[in-house]
Amino acid sequence: MKKGLFISFEGCEGSGKTTQVEKLFSHLKKHHYDCLLTHEPGGTHISEKIRKILLHKSNSSMSPLTELFLYLASRAQHTRELIQPAIEKGVIVISDRYTDSSLAYQGAARNLSLKLVQGLNEIATGGILPDITFLIDFDPKKGLKRLKGRDRIENEEIIFHREVREAYLTIAKKEKERIKVIDGGRSENDIFKEILKITELHPWFQKKRKHNFQRV
C-alpha cells in the first residue's frame, strides 16, 4: 500500500483550526503513523516567500487578482515539492488550509467567481484534492477577538469574514463526502474527539489496519 492520506483543515480567522491541526498531528505521530504537518500559504521555501508578500500589512493595495495568483503560485509549489511526493510515499499529510481557502476568500469574499477559482485550483494542484477536509465552523466575530495581532487579510471588515464563513458552508454542502463541518463552538477536547473519530473511520485507516494485521 503506497498511497498516503491527505487531510486539510479550513475555517475562518480564530476558529481554533490550528489547535486541532496540531492535536491530530501529535496523536497520529504518537501512534507511529508517518505524518507531515504543513500549512498554506507557505510550506516550502519559495511558498514562504510568497506568504510574506501576501500577509504583509504594507501590501494593502494588492488587487484581488494578484492576491489570487499569489495564493495559487504558493500552492503550485507546495503541492509539487511537498504534498504530492509525501502522498506518493504513503505519508499522512495534514495541511492547515488548502484549495477551499481560495474558493471562500478569493472566489466568494473577493468576488472573483467560484468557477474561476475552482478551475485555477485544479491547474495549481494538478487535481490533488484532500481525502478529508475538516471545516471548523465558528462565528468570525468571536474568532477575530481571539487573535493577538492582525495581518493584511485579518484586517478586513467583519462583513468580509462573514462572507467567507457563508461560502465555506455552501462549498461544504456541495461536497458532503469530503468536507466535514465541525461545530467550533465546543471545548477543544470535544472537537478533537469528533475529528479523530471521522479520521479513523476513513477507509484508508481500515485498509492500513488490515494490511498491518496481515503482516504480523
Of 153 and 181, the one with the shorter C-beta distance to ligand TYD is 153
- Tell whether residue 79 is a contact of ligand TYD (CB under 6 A): no
Q: Does 71 contact ligand TYD by CB under 6 A?
A: yes
Of residues 157-216, those binding ligand TYD (CB under 6 A): none
Q: How far is the CB of 192 from ligand TYD (least distance, A)?
A: 17
For ligand TYD, the closer of residues 26 and 206 by Cβ is: 26
Cα angle, residue 189 at apex, residues 188 and 193 outer, rounded to 5°:
120
Among 105, 134, 138, 204, binds ligand TYD (CB under 6 A): 105
Write the CB contacts of 161 (distance below 8 Å, at least 6 apart in sequence): 12, 13, 109, 140, 141, 143, 144
Question: Beta strands 5-11 and 132-137: pairing type?
Answer: parallel
Which residue, 46 or 153, is less far from ligand TYD as judged by CB?
153
21 and 96 in contact (C-beta within 8 Å)? yes
Build a one-symbol-per-residue string for 108-147: x at contacts with ligand TYD by CB under 6 A, - elsewhere: ----------------------------------------
Pairing of strands 92-96, 132-137: unpaired
Q: Is residue 90 within 8 Å of residue 2, measured between CB atoms? A: yes
Tell which one of 78, 97, 128, 131 touches ligand TYD (CB under 6 A): 97
Burial class of residue 203 in the structure, from the number of CB atoms within 10 Å of its CB (0-12 exposed, 13-18 middle, 19+ buried): exposed
Residues facing 37 on adjacent strands: 94
Provide the edge-to-edge strand list for the sheet that holds 35-39: 35-39, 92-96, 5-11, 132-137, 179-183
| Of 127 and 203, CB closest to ligand TYD | 127
Q: Which of 4, 16, 41, 130 binds ligand TYD (CB under 6 A)?
A: 41
Q: Which residues bind ligand TYD (CB under 6 A)?
A: 13, 18, 39-41, 55, 71, 96-97, 101-102, 105-106, 151, 153-154
